[in-house]
Amino acid sequence: MKFLVFDTILNGHHSDYITCLIEYWCNNTMPGELIVVTPRGLGASLPADYTASTRLTLIELTDQELRQAQQASRISRAFAEWNLFVRYAEKIRPDHAVLMYFDLFQLGVWLGKKSPCPVSGIYFRPSFHYTSPDTAPTSFREKSVILRKKWVLKGVLTSSALTNLFCLDKSSVPAIQAMTNRVRVVPLSDPVKRYDVTAAEVKALRMSLGVEDHRTVFLLFGYLDDRKGIEPMLDAIRCLPEEESARLTLVLAGPITEAYQKTVEDHLSSMNSSAQIVRYFKEIKGTAIQLLFEMSDFVLTLYQKHVGMSSIMVRAALSQKPLISSDFGYMGSLVKAEKLGMTVNSESAESISRALRQALRGEITYSTAAMQKLAEQNTSLTFAQQIFGTITPDKTPSTP
């Protein structure tokens, strides 16, 4: 049997998710061949014994193919990316294919060319099931986006090619399953890999970043852009009394564009605060991620109207670090329900500032048992087993 994994994006979580599937495939006696089609660069990050395996084939999309697909408008891109998938699927003729970022392909799946094979997909951003006062749409634009998402998904679920839809936002599963009797809607764990680190390594990182011993460390991690709530966070720090800001370190860790880095630097230059702001602007992988979370006292997930789950929540739980999180959507409801920290209006500097003061005073309560449970439920092994177990339920190895 042939299984195709297809993704036109390789940055951020994309390479991690695909690597997780490859690791599971290569480390278990899975039937047949796994063919992975991605932009160039994935093979260089994999162990040599994986890339040498006769049971794994890596195919790189060309720069021209990606430009043609991704430079189109949103609607045209859905068809362009789907057509690209269909072209490769017709060459490879897999028994099943997994679209790693299903959201992009929906119109193509529904109204585009016929797929030569059954398809499953990972759906990242459902939001039409948000009905609480904190998350229900209020503006005309928000309401129209919700209606459009629901209308498109209903159409997609009629596609004869689609067999399974995996959802990282587990709360969306009942609402989506109610739309279809044919497609199986499956809750999916976030694939977060734990790395063993020592106290000495954590101390060395703290020293290398120049973090003073008396300071409480707040980590804002990931791809750093205006969605992450950096500017409201800096405004919140500016609101703190001098005595409190002198005990605070903010670590901004992750890749950032030159344009947005300038925005952040301009914001910082206008601040008059004794808080320490550590710029750690680089792509961070593997053990280095674990060290950052272990070094921190609090983890910030101050996304602006974020839809869906975030692996940063799981990373924080893995390191037993409380969150200061946006109160919006699935993330906000999960933090509240599981007592993973504190939620705030992530667009309000005043709201964030109150949370920072509570954190500095040791007044944020959280459940370490709930953190441990969340970490145990979201592992790379569980993620891979859920996907391969759904696609080939009678052939997937059980947990060792």
Report for 26-40, 127-141, 291-305: range of highest mean pLDDT: 291-305
Q: pLDDT digits over 65-81, tens only?
A: 999 888 767 788 989 99
Among the listed residues 49, 400, 372, the one whose alpha carbon sits nearest the alpha carbon of residue 194: 372
CA distance 360 to 226: 25
CA distance 218 to 200: 20
pLDDT of the residue at 395: 54
Claim: this prediction has a pTM higher than 0.85: no
pLDDT band at 272 (very low <50, low <70, confident <90, very high): confident
The answer to whether the beta carbons of residues 293 and 319 sit under 8 Å apart is yes
Q: pLDDT digits over 310-336, tens only?
A: 889 999 999 999 999 999 888 888 999
CA distance 257 to 230: 14
Domains belonging to the chain, first-starting first, are 2-191+379-391 (3.40.50.11930), 199-377 (3.40.50.2000)
CA distance 379 to 381: 5
CA distance 305 to 303: 6
Is the per-residue pLDDT at 287 higher than 70?
Answer: yes
Indicate the residue type of 53.
S
pLDDT band at 397 (very low <50, low <70, confident <90, very high): very low
pLDDT of the residue at 400: 38
